Amino acid sequence: MNRVPLEGKVLNENARVAAELRERFRQHQVFVLNIISSPGSGKTTLLERTLESWPQTQRVAVLTGDIQTENDADRLKRYGFPVKQITTGGTCHLDARMIEKHISEWDLERLDLLIIENVGNLVCPSSYDLGEAAKIVLLSVTEGEDKPLKYPSIFFKSELLVLTKTDLLPYVPFDVPAAVTNARRVHPAMEIVRVSCLTGNGMREWLTWLEHRKGAFLTELAQSVAEVG
């Protein structure tokens, strides 16, 4: 008798739930981002700067994942938008069931954008679809420019690379052209923005990308509806 490996069963179940989530998000026209990086790359700080730039009328919510503590959620709640912490208790990634559970009390009709901040890890999160419209990977200049080659899966699956902490470039031996070349060796069509959350440099480019990508998502939805009709 053939046996399906446990990991395969888990991923198949996750894919099923993620597909259901994706359809729900599409029905409610909610654009969903899955932000992934290694620990300390600046995901939460980027979200802080993003949320503080938006008026309270912005229809956005955030799910933030960590192995322990609600520190990141506490930081993000200060900006007045719906935020929930997902504490995994040891699991090194978020999965679709966690997303399904934690959005259960939110009215998706009241949201246009859901941002998921994944657990700090470049390996495990790449295998778990969360029903998102797009993955984004962060790479800080305090890391190695060879990260895209060491962890190709997440760079291949991400539409955008955000190079963070660029204000530190004068003080660290980080080769930006090499990092860009390595990322595009893995994913030739990858878009790249450079950001410093400290100085604000690059934030306009990041926010512009976000708006354009959300607009493309809505256009794709409208076209699919028209084709069905």
The dihedral over CA atoms of 86, 9, 160, 38, expressed in degrees to the nearest 10, equals: 50
137-157 pLDDT, tens digit each: 999 999 999 999 999 999 999
79-123 pLDDT, tens digit each: 999 999 999 988 899 999 999 999 999 999 999 999 999 999 999
Domain ranges of the chain: 20-228
Give the contacts of 122 (CB within 8 A, at least 6 positions apart).
Answer: 36, 37, 38, 137, 147, 151, 154
Burial, 206: exposed, middle or buried (Cβ in 10 Å; 0-12, 13-18, 19+)?
Answer: buried
H or E element that contains 99 = helix 96-102
Rg (CA), the chain: 18
Q: How far is it, in rounded angstroms, from Cα 96 to Cα 136?
A: 17
149-191 pLDDT, tens digit each: 999 999 999 999 999 999 999 999 999 999 999 999 999 999 9
> Is it true that domain 20-228 has CATH number 3.40.190.10?
no
Q: Supply the pTM of this predicted model.
A: 0.93
Q: Which amino acid is at 51?
A: L
